[in-house]
Amino acid sequence: MNMNYKCEIAKNRKSKSIINIFAIVILLSFTIWGGKELLDIMIQYQNPKNLIFSEIVFKIIIVYYFSIYAHEAGHLIVLKLCKYSFKLFIVGPFMIINDNNKLKVKFKISRLVTGGAIIIDVNNSITCEKDFKKFALNLKLILSGGVLFNIVLILLGVALLFFKLTIDIGVILLILNIDFIISCLLSNGDINRVIKLNQNHEDSVIFFMEDLVTNYEFNDFCKKKIDKYIEEILTSKKYNLELLSCLIPIIEHNLVHNEKQLVQVNKFINWFVDNYEQVKSIKNITIRIKADKLMYKIILYKMVSKDRIGQIRITNNIKKLNKHPLDNIYKEFEGYTKKQLSLENISR
Tell which of 163, 178, 198 closes a domain: 198
Tell me what pLDDT residue 174 has.
Answer: 86
Given a contact cutoff of 8 angstroms between Cβ atoms, the answer to whether 212 and 250 are in contact is yes
Using DSSP's 3-state secondary structure scheme, residue 97 falls into strand
- 123 vs 132: CA distance, rounded Å: 11
Consecutive H or E run containing 86: strand 86-91
**177 plus 265 within the same structural domain:** no
**134 plus 144 within the same structural domain:** yes
Asked whether residue 336 is assigned to any structural domain, the reply reads yes
Domain count, the chain: 2
What's the 3-state SS for the chain?
A: CCCCCEEHHHCCHHHHHHHHHHHHHHHHHHHHHHHHHHHHHHHHHCCHHHCCHHHHHHHHHHHHHHHHHHHHHHHHHHHHHCCCCEEEEEECCEEEEEECCEEEEEECCCCCCCCEEEEECCCCCCCCHHHHHHHHHHHHHHHHHHHHHHHHHHHHHHHHCCCHHHHHHHHHHHHHHHHHHHHCCCCCCHHHHHHHHHHCHHHHHHHHHHHHHHCCCCCHHHHHHHHHHHHHHHHCCEECHHHHHHHHHHHHHHHHCCCCCCHHHHHHHHHHHHCHHHHHCCCCHHHHHHHHHHHHHHHHCCCCCHHHHCCCCCCCCHHHHHCCCCHHHHCCCHHHHHHHHHHHHHHC
**187 plus 224 within the same structural domain:** no
Using DSSP's 3-state secondary structure scheme, residue 120 falls into strand
Asked whether residue 213 is assigned to any structural domain, the reply reads yes
Tell me what pLDDT residue 114 has.
Answer: 84
**72 plus 36 within the same structural domain:** yes
Nearest Cα to 312, choosing from 282, 278, 273?
273
Given a contact cutoff of 8 angstroms between Cβ atoms, the answer to whether 334 and 99 are in contact is yes
Tell me what pLDDT residue 142 has.
Answer: 96
Asked whether residue 107 is assigned to any structural domain, the reply reads no
Asked whether residue 109 is assigned to any structural domain, the reply reads no
Tell me what pLDDT residue 165 has.
Answer: 81
Asked whether residue 3 is assigned to any structural domain, the reply reads no
The residue ranges of the chain whose pLDDT is under 50 are 1, 10
**333 plus 236 within the same structural domain:** yes
Phi, psi of 120 (to 5 degrees): -85, 140
**284 plus 194 within the same structural domain:** no
**173 plus 294 within the same structural domain:** no
Asked whether residue 119 is assigned to any structural domain, the reply reads no
Tell which of 168, 198, 228 closes a domain: 198
Asked whether residue 309 is assigned to any structural domain, the reply reads yes
Tell which of 152, 171, 198 closes a domain: 198
Tell me what pLDDT residue 10 has.
Answer: 47
Asked whether residue 279 is assigned to any structural domain, the reply reads yes
**223 plus 309 within the same structural domain:** yes
Query: Which domain does 161 fall in, by range?
Result: 8-84+125-198
**173 plus 281 within the same structural domain:** no
**143 plus 213 within the same structural domain:** no
Given a contact cutoff of 8 angstroms between Cβ atoms, the answer to whether 80 and 98 are in contact is no
Task: For residue 50, count CB atoms less than 10 angstroms from its CB and return exposed for 0-12, middle for 13-18, buried for 19 or more.
Answer: exposed
**174 plus 214 within the same structural domain:** no
Tell me what pLDDT residue 284 has.
Answer: 80
Using DSSP's 3-state secondary structure scheme, residue 48 falls into helix
**193 plus 204 within the same structural domain:** no
